[in-house]
Chain A
């Protein structure tokens, strides 16, 4: 009964490929996020959705496209993968409201070769 779950846990792929990461939360939260953690462990927000509506888009390349089919799911599709996309991608959710803490999944480790 994991609160925020992501699949796959590991993803190894070649440059130029297209891949997707899926996220689901069973906390009943309204807001979901994608964060990227680079090799230096720095966590940076990429996108945020509130009730399926995009509310934060942090100057992420157009190759990254989030999709929220419903408020419990947020997927991330990445086109034409590049070496620099190698990182750990974390999904998170929160209750909504400007000060609700985020609950994170355990991450998807993406390696582009």
Chain B
């Protein structure tokens, strides 16, 4: 079983739609949960960061963590064409900063 599972997509939605992106993980040692956004030919940039179960909101973005189910989600409200990118979930397992990434979900928001 892979440590992190993330549907690679692609996911295509119309502008204004609510987008739901998900990852499951198997390692109970994961303590910190992140979402990175990567535009084409750019490096990943941190979008959301949380360490507890529950929801965290930042503008149009909401990160949700369910540690008991080992499941994290990213919701994007009122999606825009500028949100078109690859979204990567990422996890820290404690100790030194070893960040484990999901495979990334490619999102396309069309006008």
Contact = CB atoms under 8 A, between A and B. Distances in A.
A72 B48 CA distance: 25
Contacts of A48: 96-98
B42 interface: yes
Contacts of B31: 99
Chain A binding surface SS class: strand
A101 B43 contact: no
Interface in A95-109: 96-107, 109
Interface residues of A, number: 29
B61 interface: no
A50 B34 contact: no
A55 interface: yes
Interface in A40-76: 40-45, 48, 50, 55-56
A31 interface: yes
B46 A106 contact: no
A34 interface: no
Interface string B32-48: 10100010011111100
Interface string B44-86: 1110010100000000000000000000000000000000001
Interface of B: 8, 31-32, 34, 38, 41-46, 49, 51, 86, 88, 92, 94-101, 103-104, 106
For the complex of A and B, list the 5 residue pairs with the smallest distance between their C-beta atoms, beginning with the closest: A104-B43, A43-B101, A106-B43, A99-B32, A41-B104
15 contacts: A4-B43, A41-B8, A41-B38, A41-B104, A43-B88, A44-B101, A56-B98, A90-B44, A98-B95, A99-B94, A99-B97, A100-B97, A103-B46, A106-B43, A107-B41
